[in-house]
Structure 1
Amino acid sequence: MICCALCTLLLLCCAREKSVALIETAPPIAAPAAEPTSSTEPTSVANPTSAAQPTTIADTARPALNVQKWTIDGVTREALVAMPNASLVASTGSPVLFVFHGRGGTARQVRRSYDIEKLWPEAIVVYPQGLRTPGRIMDTAGKQTGWQVYADVVDNRDLKFFDAMLASMLADARADANRVYSTGHSNGGGFSYLLWSVRHDALAAVAPSASAVPADMLTKPLSAMHIGGRNDSVVKFALQEATINAARACNQCTIEGTSVGSHGTMYGSRVNAPLLLWITDGKHAFDKSCVPPMVEFLRAQLRDASKMPTLR
């Protein structure tokens, strides 16, 4: 009897160890503990698809995602990628939207905030994971994850990452080159503004939230949406207004706007680059009320668009 009991106990322990091992094979993406300093993998980004095969991450509340990885200058970068059902892919390919988290955030966290796939099931949605990055005002030591917001800093590692991700989506995921978009909150919104500045020709539109950049960064017209809160104490609304004014000037917007939804104002453009403002009385936290009008606005934008979108 004692021998049988011992055997049973050993079997239970082995089963428990096996169960734990299975759970740990697919953990959620989290902020990296430290940036890698070296790698034996190729450092070239000319062929970003040479990275490891995607790993599926299960999520009971939402469709399964792929974790895709790229090696950029010897550092492994990754993103959560939601692919549309094959039946929803148009003959011209799928729109692709990059969603960048804020400082200290994660790819999975920003996905929960935006939840784009429910409103835009035909789109490829990419949620990249940032590295520890020094901030301009906050976190100057770079202890938190984030993104560069100026060109020619941190060796342009995030711009290189964007280029590699976009190349993969165009080459392997049937993305439509005329329907490439970027959004992000706070520091992620600042990176979206940077993409407007230095990757203008690759984009159809951007939709930054709670962010601001110097006016001289915006020199080429691009359809855009800006989301902001008048009581933002992190990125002061006065700074956001200065960025909005720069965007209106760059896009040659009309003086008068048209009301859109509960918080929106649409400004037409003489150069087919409309600007939608979504301004609430909120603070710095991401305002989910902006997501439906954002999706509707972005859906209407093409790199060669000749018509201003009509929103309900």
Structure 2
Amino acid sequence: MRLALPGWLLGAALLLGAAQTTRAAEQFLEFDINGLTRRVLVVVPDSPASGPRPLVVVFHGRGDDDRAFANAVRLHKDWPDAIVAYPRGEKRESSPSRGWQVRVGDQGDRDLVLTDRLLEEMATRYGTRPADTHVAGFSNGGHFVLLLLAERPEAFATFTVIGSVMPGFASDSPPKPVLYLFGRGEDRRYKESWAGTVEALARHNRGKGPLEPFMGCCQLQSPAAGGAPFVFGLYGAGHIWPAQGNEWLKDFARHEWSAP
């Protein structure tokens, strides 16, 4: 599944991206991963920081790339004091579309290795740290975020999954704060899978008790001892990054979660 934006909205996003004044703060980082050159678009604020900056790593959907996704989503514009990294997925032998691994061992774990290298580089260059590092993904990128939740839970403070389903998700990794968003206009074939994914993530985060309204979009399930908050909701669109997605992601990531 890939990111799909209405033509007028994508055109406007591209124009805004071309006209932005922070292009000098943009850079492409390259990493050699198993003989393959991997690219990441990184946007760094121009203003001085008083302490460690938040880092947000955002993974695009299948068939997209770093530049087009950054221009359409523009998280770096809505969270101007954060460093935002947009890695680019690579094509698979079985598919001409760029995308991400969804299981351990796939493609030699090249996307897990890329993530590790990127986080190391950000820490070296900008002093970022896991307590202020967040990850989000759309569609196939969301599937990869779920893999990171299972395989790299200590690398990120929060995990945001948008427009993805994985009802079979299960892991022995420690629970972490998760935001899970899905469009009401998604294909009906995925509705049951969405509900199953909610149940799977609630189990993983050891949710208990009644649901509470949260951020005006979602429900919050507080955790039992040793668990982590789980927030989920439906937005009024189809398979597309929601119009308020950046606001919700930012508010969720910046929320001061108390220990259960």
- Fold conserved (TM > 0.5)? yes
8 Å contact kept, 2:207–2:227: no
Secondary structure in 2 aligned to 1:85?
A: coil
8 Å contact kept, 1:229–1:237: no
Q: Does residue 88 of structure 2 align to residue 129 of structure 1?
A: yes
TM-score normalized by structure 1? 0.71
Secondary structure in 2 aligned to 1:293?
A: helix
8 Å contact kept, 2:22–2:46: no
Q: Does residue 31 of structure 2 align to residue 70 of structure 1?
A: yes
- 1:178 is displaced (CA, Å) by 1.3
1:85 is matched with which residue?
46
Q: Does residue 255 of structure 2 align to residue 306 of structure 1?
A: no
Cα distance in 2, alignment partners of residues 202 and 90 from structure 1:
22
Which amino acid counterpart does residue 234 of structure 2 have in structure 1?
Answer: I
TM-score normalized by structure 2? 0.85
Cα distance in 2, alignment partners of residues 98 and 238 from structure 1:
29
2:14 is matched with which residue?
none
1:32 is matched with which residue?
none
8 Å contact kept, 1:80–1:107: yes
Structure 1's consecutive aligned runs of 4 or more residues displaced over 4 angstroms after TM superposition are: none
Cα distance in 2, alignment partners of residues 155 and 145 from structure 1:
16
8 Å contact kept, 2:153–2:173: no
Secondary structure in 2 aligned to 1:169?
A: helix
Secondary structure in 1 aligned to 2:45?
A: coil
Secondary structure in 1 aligned to 2:113?
A: helix
8 Å contact kept, 1:124–1:175: no
The equivalent position to 1:157 in structure 2, one of 96, 110, 115, is 110
8 Å contact kept, 1:131–1:145: yes
Q: Does residue 124 of structure 2 align to residue 171 of structure 1?
A: yes
Q: Does residue 62 of structure 2 align to residue 110 of structure 1?
A: no
Secondary structure in 2 aligned to 1:215?
A: coil
- 1:259 is displaced (CA, Å) by 1.4
Could you say if the C-alpha distance between residues 275 and 249 of structure 1 is closer, same or farther in structure 2, counting changes exceeding 3 Å?
A: same
1:294 is matched with which residue?
249
8 Å contact kept, 1:97–1:183: yes
Cα distance in 1, alignment partners of residues 87 and 101 from structure 2:
13
Could you say if the C-alpha distance between residues 278 and 111 of structure 1 is closer, same or farther in structure 2, counting changes exceeding 3 Å?
A: farther
8 Å contact kept, 1:210–1:235: no
How many aligned residue pairs are there?
Answer: 240
RMSD: 2.1
Gaps of 5+ in 2: 1-16
Which amino acid counterpart does residue 170 of structure 2 have in structure 1?
Answer: D
Q: Does residue 179 of structure 2 align to residue 225 of structure 1?
A: yes
The higher relative CO (CA closer than 8 Å, separation ≥ 6) is in 2
2:239 is matched with which residue?
284
Report Cα offsets for 1:44-88 as digits up to 9, x if no partner: xxxxxxxxxxxxxx932352111111111111111110112342x
8 Å contact kept, 2:58–2:136: yes
1:97 is matched with which residue?
56
Cα distance in 2, alignment partners of residues 288 and 62 from structure 1:
22
Q: Does residue 197 of structure 2 align to residue 243 of structure 1?
A: yes
Could you say if the C-alpha distance between residues 122 and 218 of structure 1 is closer, same or farther in structure 2, counting changes exceeding 3 Å?
A: farther
1:26 is matched with which residue?
none
Share of identical aligned residues, percent? 24
- 1:307 is displaced (CA, Å) by 4.9
Cα distance in 2, alignment partners of residues 262 and 296 from structure 1:
11
Cα distance in 2, alignment partners of residues 201 and 287 from structure 1:
27
Which amino acid counterpart does residue 164 of structure 2 have in structure 1?
Answer: S
Cα distance in 2, alignment partners of residues 62 and 128 from structure 1:
22
Cα distance in 1, alignment partners of residues 195 and 172 from structure 2:
14
- 1:240 is displaced (CA, Å) by 2.0
- 1:122 is displaced (CA, Å) by 1.7
Could you say if the C-alpha distance between residues 262 and 112 of structure 1 is closer, same or farther in structure 2, counting changes exceeding 3 Å?
A: farther
Using the TM superposition, name which of 268-277 and 222-231 deviates more.
268-277
Could you say if the C-alpha distance between residues 218 and 194 of structure 1 is closer, same or farther in structure 2, counting changes exceeding 3 Å?
A: farther
